[in-house]
């Protein structure tokens, strides 16, 4: 383009058109932006694309979470057992401490860091709504939690199939466990994500999440134990609605023949367990979306 | 010790949401005890003092308190404003420790006594035992977590791994971990006060010594870390 | 007194050398620590403030080692680049806490005096979280001044401060210097340093590149060979004519046309170039200086 002076008003000043032009080529839509955000969030949850130090914790937890599954499969083949000593769905209950630490520690990675360092403003300056940002982050954490929950289930399943346990039975049980894992992941993601998006300080978010998940579970378990002792089973069933892990246990007893204290009895109560699981997940997501809408509105 | 540091740390600890969560944890424990007592016979559900109050709520309170007084300031480097002063760094750490320690005693150990008394007032010695064990364990937890906060930015997660994974999960499987578990030492001390508490079996002398050594060592270490506090550039 | 001495100080992190064998003395008056970003200015200030141990050499204040010696803070006031995160305190509470930590007999009066010096009395009852960058910078300065230190260290005090407040800060620093305090501040902007400091220390890539009176350094900088590119219709003839000029120290032909010229005496060269070209019957097309940036000044100082 030739250099043409573009005259402006007045005498001395002039702005030369040097041919610099803004980018007007094709652009990706917000779908692509959101999916890129999802992918980077998912990788970040496992420390991928971050420093070497931040890979230690997620992979340590993942390895610890997988270890019992490997031991179980090994023991099963060694002693020629004809069933898994620990059911697929029960696995997450047995390792709930690891699961809790994972979501509590990794949710702030996805939700607190952008808030704390103010980089959230850069994301929201893109043609991406605050809701889409929130959903992308939430989905990344959900996917990471699911991977965390499903890896040992897959390991157990592969071991069981290779040990030639009854194929259709194993497949059915593993599928039920996978469904329950999705429900558990929905709840954990909603709760930990909401806490992390409200708290700027990482350590604070971690402890608060652990308090909600494990202290809540402890309280509910205590109530269930006492109601079982006292023969007031209904109290325990209702109490079970108030903590993610007790909901998960109730759902497990409803779908499989695993035994837990005061499982939900009757169609209404069972339906209530599943409804609350879904509702907790939705409420968490809604809370996160609202939180980011408020931040974007500032 | 330094009264200004104590005042600032208390403000950091109890300020806004952090103080609320810190108070909520013991509130949940006591509320549960009240509900159980209201609906059942005295003595029912006494396990919650151990299973929830001592094993979970107490270390969480200690973790929150000790990371709140030191963690954020070291994390973002703003502690330089407090320590570029003619105040010995060890006394800065000691002041911060005292604040976190008092918070742990009040919000971690004292609720054990209250919950125990609520659940079964006929046998106060058991409640006193748990509170005393909790006080000793809380003292040591707070010191250890303070040292972690002075050492690394991941202090909270490491502290959780220690409490939940090492003492909780692994401690339940491998009984030898009692030699290296703060909770077990506290329980040993509680068992020496009341027969209703099962002793983990380290012996009272070992428990007291181990708790003392770890507490003093941790606070000393935290002070040493602060003496060598290094200011890094923003890049 | 208040003189900070660095003796052959080096600081390295693993394989990275942040400060390389620096010896300097910072005495009363305003000293500017000048260097491009990442040159080691923050590292040097951290060493002087006792927040970094030297890997080699000694850092002393009036003969006393600074590292791990909290007594030096009776003499030193530090304004780090780091933001204050005590957003939940008011400005007054923060400065007062600093006064108390210094163990002053009347912390309230000291706090009031420091707030007056930085003109922050009125907003001091507001929480720090609500302050602008310039106000936070002044509260930081007040907190460092509260014990009337004879040494004041400031890391990038003018960063992000608006021009009016910048002038105010500069006037303050000059006043402190005139009062006989040792004031050292870091900056990567030459003009900033020029306006405040008489004495400057230049660091580049962790090395001590220049030191001395500002005017002297400035002259050394302007007297250095300056690089030009001259494009003409007959480069070779022009080059042979230029090399006979006393103001020119080196001439080179560029592969794609043009002559690289190193010039020592700028004024003489500017005067002579048209005449030389006319006498040689060469038509000049273009004359471009190639190294006017501050970085090139630094690299000249280092490469010398």
CB contact under 8 A, A223 and B154: no
| Yes or no, beta carbons of B85 and C42 under 8 Å apart | no
Write out chain A residues lying below 8 Å of B18, CB-based: 201, 204
pLDDT for B226 equals 93
Is the Cα torsion angle A147, A153, A159, A164 positive or negative in sign?
negative
- Which residues on chain C are in Cβ contact (under 8 Å) with B228? 53, 68
Q: Where are the alpha helices (DSSP H) in chain A?
A: 30-45, 53-78, 88-94, 96-116, 120-124, 130-162, 167-198, 202-210, 216-230, 233-239, 244-255, 267-297
* Beta carbons of C220 and C264 less than 8 angstroms apart: no
Residue C9 has which token pair?
Answer: 């100080």
* Distance between B9 CA and the closest CA of chain C, angstroms: 11
Helices (H) and strands (E) in chain C, counts: 10, 14
Which residue among B7, B80, B87 sits closest to C51, beta carbon to beta carbon? B80
Q: Is C26 helix (H, G, I), strand (E, B) or coil?
A: strand
Cβ-defined contact of B4 to C97 (cutoff 8 Å):
yes
Q: Is B164 on the interface with A (CB under 8 A)?
A: yes
Least CB-CB distance to A201: which of B72, B160, B161? Answer: B72
The pLDDT of residue A2 is 47
Dump strand ranges (E) for chain B. Answer: none
Q: Which residues of B touch C51 (CB under 8 A)?
A: 80, 84, 229-231
At A57, list the tokens.
Answer: 């914790």
Q: Residue B81 above 60 pLDDT? A: yes
CB contact under 8 A, A222 and B47: yes
Measure the CA dihedral A137/A140/A142/A145, to 10°: -130
Q: Say what the alpha-carbon torsion angle A169, A170, A173, A178 is, to the nearest 10 degrees.
A: -140
The residue written with tokens 């490469």 in the block is C303
Q: pLDDT per residue over C4-56, tens digit each?
A: 999 999 999 888 889 999 999 999 999 999 888 888 899 999 999 999 999 99
Domain locations in chain A as residue ranges: 30-297
Report the residue of chain B nearest A105, measured CA to CA: B157
Residue C233, phi then psi, degrees to nearest 5: -85, -10
Domain ranges of chain C: 4-221, 223-303
Tell me the C-alpha distance between B204 and B184, whole Å. 11
List C-alpha distances in Å: A51 to A57, A104, A242, B59, B107.
Answer: 12, 19, 38, 29, 37
A18 CA: distance to closest CA in chain B (Å): 35
User: Tens digit of pLDDT for each residue in B194-207?
Assistant: 999 999 999 999 99
Give the predicted TM-score (pTM) of the model: 0.86
Q: Is the Cβ–Cβ distance between C47 and C54 less than 8 Å?
A: yes
Whether the CB-CB separation of C58 and C65 falls below 8 Å is answered with yes
Instruction: For residue B164, count other CB atoms closer than 10 A to its CB.
Output: 23
Using the beta-carbon criterion (under 8 Å), do C78 and B7 form an inter-chain contact?
Answer: no
Looking at residue A137, what is its pLDDT? 94
Q: What is the pLDDT of residue B235?
A: 37
CA distance B160 to chain A (A): 8
- Contact partners of A by the rule of 3+ C-beta pairs under 8 A? B
Which one, of C142, C117, C125, C141, lies nearest residue C91 by Cα? C125
Q: Where residue A11 falls among pLDDT bands split at 50, 70, 90?
A: low
Q: Which is higher by pLDDT, C221 or A207? A: A207
Q: Nearest by CB to B36, which of A97, A104, A226?
A: A226
Question: What topology is assigned to C223-303 in CATH?
Answer: Alpha-Beta Plaits (3.30.70)
Helix (H, G, I), strand (E, B) or coil at A49: coil
Chains B, C: CB contacts under 8 A, how many? 87
CA distance B116 to B86: 46
Residue ranges of chain B whose CB lies within 8 Å of a chain C CB = 2-5, 7-8, 11-12, 15-16, 72-73, 76-78, 80-89, 227-235
Q: Please give the average per-residue pLDDT across C113-139, as a whole number.
A: 90
Look at residue C188 and tell me whether its pLDDT is greater than 50.
Answer: yes
Chains that touch B (3 or more CB pairs under 8 A): A, C
User: What are the tens digits of pLDDT across the range B10-30?
Assistant: 988 887 677 888 999 999 999
Crossing angle (nearest 10°) for helices A130-162 and A30-45: 50
Using a CB–CB cutoff of 8 Å, tell me whether B51 touches chain A: yes
For residue A174, the model assigns a pLDDT of 95
pLDDT of residue C295 exceeding 70: no
Cα separation, C207 vs C6, in Å, equals 13
**At a CB cut-off of 8 Å and minimum separation 6, what does B66 contact?**
B97, B100, B104, B141, B142, B143, B145, B146, B149
B204 touches chain A (CB under 8 A): no
Cα A15 from Cα B123, distance rounded (Å): 90
Beta-strand relationship, C226-232 and C207-213: unpaired
What pLDDT sits at residue B131? 97
Contacts of B157 in chain A (CB under 8 A): 57, 101, 105, 206
Q: Give me the sign of the Cα torsion angle C230, C231, C236, C237.
A: negative
d(CA B204, CA B189): 6
C-alpha distance from B86 to closest chain C C-alpha (Å): 5
The pLDDT confidence band at residue C304, using thresholds 50, 70 and 90, is very low
Identify the chains in contact with C, defined as 3+ C-beta pairs within 8 A: B
Specify which of B3-7, B73-77, C130-134 reaches the highest per-range mean pLDDT: B3-7
* C151 to chain B, closest Cα gap in Å: 13
What tens digit of pLDDT does each residue of B135-190 get?
A: 999 999 999 999 999 998 889 999 999 999 999 989 988 999 999 999 999 999 99
Determine the distance in angstroms separating the CA of B41 from the nearest CA of chain A, rounded to an integer. Answer: 10
Residue C52 and residue B230: Cβ atoms within 8 Å?
yes
C152 and C73 Cβ atoms separated by less than 8 Å: no
Q: C4-221 has which fold?
A: Rossmann fold (3.40.50)
Please give the radius of gyration of chain C, using alpha carbons only, rounded to the nearest integer.
24
Chain A partners within 8 Å of B142 (Cβ): none
| pLDDT of the residue at C152 | 95
Q: Which residues of A touch B60 (CB under 8 A)?
A: 207, 210-211, 215
Provide the 10 A C-beta neighbour count for residue C155.
25
- CA distance linking residue A59 with residue A69, whole number of Å: 16
* pLDDT above 70: residue C298: no
**Residues A258/A89, Cβ–Cβ less than 8 Å:** yes
What average pLDDT does the segment A263-273 reach?
Answer: 93
Look at B86 and C102 and tell me if their CB atoms are within 8 Å.
Answer: yes
Q: What is the pLDDT of residues A155-169, one digit of tens each?
A: 999 999 988 888 999
Among C43, C82, C86, whose Cβ lies nearest the Cβ of B77? Answer: C82
Searching chain B, which residue's CA lies closest to the CA of residue A218? B52
Question: What's the pLDDT at C163?
Answer: 87
Q: How far is CA A278 from CA A97, A182, A246, A254, in A?
A: 22, 10, 14, 15
Q: Which residues contact B133 (CB under 8 A, 6 or more apart)?
A: B54, B186, B187, B188, B189, B190, B191, B193, B197
Chain A residue whose CA is closest to B48: A222
Whether A130 has a pLDDT exceeding 80, the answer reads yes
DSSP state letter for C52: S
* Strand C4-13 versus strand C56-61 pairing type: antiparallel
CB of C89 less than 8 A from some CB of B: yes
Give the pLDDT of residue C223.
66
Inter-chain residue contact A64 with B165, CB threshold 8 Å:
yes
Residue linked to tokens 């199939």: A161
Interior angle at CA B8, CA B6 and CA B12, nearest 5: 115
Identical fold, C4-221 and C223-303: no
Residue pair C134/C163 in contact (Cβ under 8 Å)? The answer is no
Mutate to test the interface with A, among B26, B153, B156 (most CBs of A within 10 A): B156
Pick the closest to residue A179 from A274, A245, A38 (CA basis): A274
SS3 per-residue string spanning C81-129 = CCCCCCCCCEHHHHHHHHHHHCCCCCHHHHHHHHHHHCCCCHHHHCEHH
């Amino acid at each position: 383009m030739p250099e043409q002076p573009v005259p402006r008003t007045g005498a001395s000043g002039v702005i030369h058109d040097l041919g610099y032009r803004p980018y007007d080529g094709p652009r990706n839509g917000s779908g692509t932006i959101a999916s890129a955000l999802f992918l980077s969030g998912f990788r970040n949850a496992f420390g991928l694309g971050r420093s070497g130090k931040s890979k230690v914790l997620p992979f340590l937890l993942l390895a610890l979470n997988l270890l019992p599954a490997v031991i179980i499969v090994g023991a099963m083949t060694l002693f020629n057992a004809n069933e898994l000593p620990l059911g697929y769905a029960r696995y997450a209950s047995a390792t709930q401490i690891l699961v809790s630490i994972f979501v509590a520690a990794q949710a702030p990675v996805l939700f607190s860091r952008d808030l704390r360092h103010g980089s959230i403003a850069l994301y929201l300056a893109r043609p991406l709504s605050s809701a889409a940002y929130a959903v992308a982050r939430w989905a990344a954490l959900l996917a990471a939690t699911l991977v965390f929950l499903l890896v040992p289930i897959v390991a157990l399943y592969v071991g069981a199939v290779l040990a030639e346990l009854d194929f259709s039975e194993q497949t059915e049980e593993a599928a039920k466990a996978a469904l329950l894992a999705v429900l558990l992941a929905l709840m954990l993601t909603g709760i930990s994500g909401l806490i992390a998006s409200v708290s700027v300080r990482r350590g604070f978010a971690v402890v608060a999440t652990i308090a909600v998940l494990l202290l809540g579970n402890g309280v509910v378990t205590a109530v269930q134990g006492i109601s079982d002792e006292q023969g007031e089973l209904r109290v325990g069933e209702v109490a079970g609605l108030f903590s993610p892990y007790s909901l998960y246990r109730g759902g497990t007893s409803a779908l499989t023949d695993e035994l837990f204290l005061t499982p939900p009895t009757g169609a209404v109560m069972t339906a209530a367990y599943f409804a609350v699981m879904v509702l907790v997940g939705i409420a968490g997501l809604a809370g996160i979306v609202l939180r980011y809408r408020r931040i974007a509105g500032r | 010790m330094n009264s200004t540091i104590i005042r600032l740390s208390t403000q950091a600890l109890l300020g806004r949401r952090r103080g609320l969560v810190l108070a909520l944890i013991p509130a949940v424990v006591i509320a549960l005890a009240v509900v159980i007592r209201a609906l059942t016979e005295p003595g029912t559900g006494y396990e919650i003092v151990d299973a929830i109050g001592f094993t979970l709520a107490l270390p969480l309170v200690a973790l929150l308190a000790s990371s709140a007084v030191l963690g954020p300031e070291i994390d973002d480097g703003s502690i330089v404003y407090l320590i570029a002063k003619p105040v010995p760094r060890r006394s800065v750490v000691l002041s911060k420790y005292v604040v976190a320690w008092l918070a742990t005693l009040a919000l971690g150990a004292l609720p054990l006594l209250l919950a125990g008394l609520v659940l079964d007032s006929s046998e106060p010695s058991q409640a006193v035992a748990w509170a005393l064990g909790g006080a000793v364990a809380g003292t040591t937890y707070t010191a250890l977590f303070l040292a972690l906060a002075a050492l690394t930015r991941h202090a909270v997660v490491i502290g959780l791994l220690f409490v939940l994974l090492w003492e909780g999960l692994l401690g339940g499987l491998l009984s030898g971990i009692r030699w290296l578990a703060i909770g077990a030492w506290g329980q040993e001390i509680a068992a020496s006060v009341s027969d209703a508490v099962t002793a983990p079996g380290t012996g009272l002398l070992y428990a007291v010594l181990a708790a003392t050594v770890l507490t003093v060592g941790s606070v000393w270490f935290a002070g040493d870390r602060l003496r060598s506090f290094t200011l890094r550039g923003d890049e | 007194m208040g003189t900070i001495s660095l003796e052959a100080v080096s600081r390295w992190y693993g394989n990275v050398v942040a400060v390389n064998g620096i010896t300097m003395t910072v005495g009363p008056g305003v000293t500017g620590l000048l260097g491009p970003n990442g040159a080691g200015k923050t590292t040097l200030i951290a060493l002087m403030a006792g927040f970094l141990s030297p890997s080699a050499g000694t850092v002393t204040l009036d003969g006393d080692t600074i590292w791990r010696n909290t007594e030096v803070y009776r003499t030193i006031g530090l304004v780090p680049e780091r933001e204050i995160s005590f957003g939940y305190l008011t400005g007054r509470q923060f400065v007062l806490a600093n006064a108390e930590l210094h163990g002053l007999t009347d912390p309230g009066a000291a706090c009031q005096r420091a707030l007056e010096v930085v003109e922050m009395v009125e907003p001091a009852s507001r929480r720090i979280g609500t302050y602008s960058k310039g106000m936070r910078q002044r509260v930081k300065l007040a907190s460092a001044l509260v014990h009337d230190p004879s040494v004041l260290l400031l890391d990038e005090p003018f960063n992000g401060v608006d021009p009016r407040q910048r002038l105010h800060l500069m006037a303050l620093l000059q006043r402190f210097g005139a009062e006989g305090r040792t004031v050292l501040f870091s900056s990567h902007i030459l003009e900033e340093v020029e306006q405040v400091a008489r004495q400057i220390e230049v660091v580049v890539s962790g090395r001590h590149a220049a030191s001395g009176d500002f005017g002297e350094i400035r002259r050394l900088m302007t007297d250095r060979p300056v690089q030009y590119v001259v494009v003409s219709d007959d480069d070779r003839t022009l080059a042979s004519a230029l090399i006979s000029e006393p103001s020119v120290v080196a001439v080179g032909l560029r592969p794609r046309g043009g002559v690289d010229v190193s010039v020592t005496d700028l004024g003489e060269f500017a005067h002579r170039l048209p005449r030389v070209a006319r006498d040689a019957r060469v038509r000049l097309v273009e004359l471009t200086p190639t190294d006017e940036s501050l970085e090139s000044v630094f690299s000249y100082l280092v490469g010398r």
